[in-house]
Amino acid sequence: MDTFLVKLDSTDFFTSIKNDVLYGTPFPGQAKSFGYDEADKLAREFREKGYPGAVATDRYGATPTAADLISVKRRVQYEVRFSGYYFVGVNAAGREQGSKDHSQALKMSQEAAIEIVRKLKRARHLDATIIEAGSIATDVDAEVEKIWPGN
């Protein structure tokens, strides 16, 4: 999975929080790493907490371009959670199936995960959500058809 950091200011990268105090290091290799979505979310939260320069960066400390992020999003895998279960597919009747066993969760592209969440919400699983998991993806329509045939 791609590694992203949170740069707190012009010199320090995020390492930890203790007693609501953020700690950092000037060395990117010693900073805590995340997937892009989590790094970006933390940077936003840190800006709200008084770190106006907080930003998600690549592992070298450079701010990623839109092209970089598109490339990452095409490689990152996602899982879907709903009603306390991990989405594992659909049964012969076309009904969603879930498992409490995380290792059973289907890995999919972000686009496929968004479509699966839409389908689950239409099936009254209003808590359906996407979780970043790992890396891959190509033809979204074929992928969704493989995961949820006939839709």
**For 3-23, what is each residue's pLDDT tens digit?**
899 999 999 999 999 998 899
Same domain, yes or no: 81 and 99 = yes
pTM of this structure: 0.52
Is residue 40 domain-shared with residue 100, that is, in the same domain? Answer: no
The residue range of the domain holding 137 is: 74-147
Q: How many domains does the chain have?
A: 2
Same domain, 103 and 143: yes
3-state secondary structure labels for all residues of the chain: CCCEEEECCCCCEEEEEECCEEEEECCHHHCCCECHHHHHHHHHHHHHCCCCCCEEEECCCCCCCHHHHHHHHHHEEEEEEECCEEEEEECCCCCEEEECCHHHCCCECHHHHHHHHHHHHHCCCCCCEEEEEEECCCCHHHHHHHHCCCC
Mean pLDDT, residues 32-57: 91
The 10s digit of each residue's pLDDT in 81-138 is 999 999 999 888 888 999 999 889 988 887 889 999 999 999 999 999 998 875 443 4
Q: Which of 64, 86, 107 delimits the end of a domain?
A: 64
Domain boundary among 13, 31, 64: 64
